[in-house]
Chains A and B, each alone.
Chain A
Amino acid sequence: MGRLVKRLLLLLLCPIWLYAADPLSPRIANYEIKANFNPTAKTIEGEETITWTIEGDNPLPSLQFHLYWNAFRDGKSTYMREAARASQPDEPPEAGSIEITSLTLDGEELAPLGRFIHPDDSNVEDRTVEEFPLEDALDPNQTVVLHIRFKSKFPALIARAGYERDFFMAGQWFPKIGVRQRDLWNTHQYHLNSEFFADFGTYRVTLTLPTAYIVAASGDLVSTTTAGGQRTLIYESDDVHDFAWSAWTKFRRAEDHWRGVRIELYYPPEHTDAVRHIEAAKATLAWFDRNIGSYPYPRLVIVDCPEWAAEAGGMEYPTLVTTVMPPPAFMWRRESEVVTIHEVGHQYFYGMLASNEFEEAWLDEGINSYTESAITDEIFGRRSSWDSLGPLRGSDAGYNEMPGFLARPVTDLVVQPSWRYASPASYQVSSYSRPLFLLRTAEELLGREAMYRGLRFYFEHWKFKHPTTRDFLAAMKEGSRQDLGWYFQQVLYTTHWLDYGIEGIHTDGNENWVRVLRTGEIEMPVELTVHFEGQPDRKLFWTGSEGWHDFYLQSAAPISWAAITTHAMDANPTDNSYAPQTNPAGGRKLAGLWTFLVQHLLEIAAWLV
């Protein structure tokens, strides 16, 4: 009887065990890293074992690694040169570096063969991608074990990595093997505007550092030992494509849970209301769970950076995000919540979908900006999701509009490699702001339910598979069961903008003409609603394809006003309605504010002299 019960139990538990053991991702690049962190010298010395599966059909002639911190060695790297061209400092504040001192494969030392390559430009001084030719090409579809020894030197905080005082942020701190796609290496140099791309795998990281340091890391802590003033921490993380950690002597720690996810918050002692980050993270996870898909990891780590290390804030790593608090003078801003919501949202687009951020940054930053604004609107209200000080309100989407979404002409496409943007501002607009608004307009066209259905399908179908824009469009079509290809083609692959407006209303007796202009190049169907005095409204439609269109209406009652549908992408929403009668009240409100501002500046000047 007892044996039968045991067998029955085993039979019942077996699927659960199988399910639990089933990897979420392909686990192509699996890392075991042992790192010694020396905060005095600002260095890490480490050993790394990569168990790596070679994908493809043809033999592999070489190995390629990302050495991101070499971007901060000096002013000659592609990153710093691009910074100089963008009128930013052309030298790192303090040099950082990363060096492979040994690389062995089957006992053969390859390190002396290493050479730096520059797949994206002709900068021979760039050392962020290193290639190691193989004497004998490796057969595809086999798993090899690579042993690496490396030395990393923290730069002073730059690009969300490095150190400031005794605060350290270790992101991209170890040699990372490149990605093989279609029998080619997909590696890119570290650029001013680019982020990262890597294969999924498992991580077991052993970190040794002085006991005074408190560590926030993107893994589950499975072991802690202390000896001789040093602490050794062992972390594990599965089905991720990176491992990051932060260390500081003054971190405070708080913990909370959301549906089995352990949320760890590390924050400076002075941030007494840092728990806001946890609430924002929980709201984000709940929103994604409801609308896009579930969060499969057991942990989410939030690092709230001190003000003097704010350069490290606002960054995402798998299961770890860094965030910031607004300055005390701007406490009415929901900056901390918005940044946390944004970074937690990255867990889906950067973390699990893991599109190539070098080549198609919008798939991460843009879609994430759209979901960020949807979440903040839902939590804080559509008009006050960024600024909220009584009537002084502003939305998160509106804040995104400020960097120049309305600036014309649009200089770059949304879909293009991140290092080919005209400027950091253009990258910002094309990868964050325009995608936010173009996806909002897609939502207006599809309906919210269909939009979220499409996003959910995209996520469920493509998670852990590195989708491209084409995959996104196909998934949206299938998931939403509507084809917006005509629209996405215009907004993703052209620099066109959307702008319709009502030029005026002409009346002659009972006859009326409402003229609508298309001043942008993007074509959209236009719905016009005409309001009459004492009569029901009338709705009329236009394909929107010509440069202008006169809507003809006969009516005994005069037109009081007319309006066309306003889309989020519309570059000028102010002219989407027209009334024959003038009403200066709105303009006077702005003029009154302007006058008040000028008079107070005059009065301040009088006080100063």
Chain B
Amino acid sequence: MARLGAGLGALSLGRQTVAVRPRLLLLAWLLQVVFATLAAAPAWGVFTNSLEHRPVFSNELLNDFSLDLLVSWRGAYGRPLLGLLILAAILIVLYAAAKIALDCFLFPAYLAPFDDFRDGRLGRAAAQAAPRIIWASVASLGFSLVLAGCVLAFHDRLWLVVALIVVGVFLRVLTNLWKCGTFVQAWAAIWARPGSMLWLTLVTLGSVLLYGALSGAWVWFDLLSTRPLAMFCAAEVLVFAGVYLRLWLAASAVVLWRSTENH
């Protein structure tokens, strides 16, 4: 019970940590919105211009959606999509780099939630933290790619896929701890608070599953919906929730890290 309490406490403190630094949350969300706008906006014109005078096909899309319609649309207007996909891919890579840069500020700020970072002190803290955060991020990406390869290779063995997802989630928690210090310290923190770490891993897994389920539900309702703008607004709320969740879990890991330091 004590371990459960510690885990819950870390999550609660994590939420407070995010609340103490609202600008970072805003910045993380704006970063998402800016990159999403840059990546998706050029496609809006292609999609809407192609069908705005085509009532039969548009109505089928709205009221009787099927993948066949996407195939037909792609055949008729899909030529620019390749270029737009390449643009999106480039922007996704840039976004990942921007997110690492944001982490360089975010982790020092969460590690000292009540410090006053005015007069360029946050910048200095970020510069100091940058090497370990970049290293941890690159390592995390490498691990994730290896795991994704394993999932693809063993996609027909469900239990193995589930196990690989759990490993991936554990690595996410480990990476967040690593960004607070060194890998060895992160590993030591896990052993110092094994119950809390397990709890955080489970909550992270639950969050990922919940977010995935909500995303799936969005797609489900969007395909059935005849109100695309309302669904777009719902999607933006979901994305904001995803960004918040990401920061909350990072802050919770930082709280646990701090507790092992004190311990």
Contacts and interface: CB of A to CB of B under 8 A. Distances in A.
A34 B78 CA distance: 57
Given A394-B66, A572-B76, A603-B243, A598 B36 contact: yes
B198 interface: no
A503 B73 CA distance: 17
A579 B54 CA distance: 6
A393 interface: yes
Contacts of A598: 36, 39-40, 88, 92
A583 B36 contact: no
Contacts of B77: 574
A577 B235 contact: no
A586 B66 contact: no
Nearest to B50: A587
Contacts of B44: 591, 594-595
Give the contact-size bracket for chain B.
Answer: 35 or more
Contact of A602 (B35, B68, B100): B35
Nearest to B70: A590
Contact of B52 (A393, A582, A599, A602): A582
A504 B53 CA distance: 9
B215 A600 contact: yes
B222 A394 contact: no
B232 interface: yes
B200 to A, nearest CB: 15
Given A394-B67, A585-B226, A592 B232 contact: yes
Given A587-B47, A591-B44, A605 B61 contact: no
A513 interface: no
A557 interface: no
Interface stretch (A147-155, A356-364, A395-403, A471-479): A395-403
B246 A607 contact: yes
A578 B57 CA distance: 10
Contacts of B262: none
Interface residues of A, number: 59
Secondary structure of the B side of the interface? helix
Contacts of A393: 65-67
Interface in B165-220: 172, 215, 218-220
Contacts of B49: 587
A271 to B, nearest CB: 12
Contacts of A391: 65, 220, 223-224
Contacts of B138: 609
B48 A329 contact: no
Nearest to A390: B220
Contacts of B99: 605-606, 609
A586 B246 contact: no
A603 B51 contact: no
A578 B53 contact: yes
Interface in A557-609: 561, 563, 566, 571-580, 582-596, 598-603, 605-609
Nearest to B61: A586
Nearest to A590: B47
B228 to A, nearest CB: 4
A395 B65 CA distance: 11
Contacts of B172: 607
Nearest to A402: B71
Contacts of B64: 383
Contacts of A572: 72, 75-76
Given A574-B50, A587-B48, A589-B228, A594 B95 contact: no
Contacts of A600: 215, 239
A573 B74 CA distance: 11
B56 A589 contact: no
A591 B47 contact: yes
A587 B58 contact: yes
Given A595-B43, A606-B32, 4 more contacts: A391-B65, A392-B220, A576-B57, A589-B228
5 contacts: A395-B68, A406-B72, A588-B47, A592-B222, A606-B99
The 5 A-B residue pairs whose C-beta atoms are closest, nearest first, are A586-B58, A398-B68, A406-B75, A394-B67, A587-B48
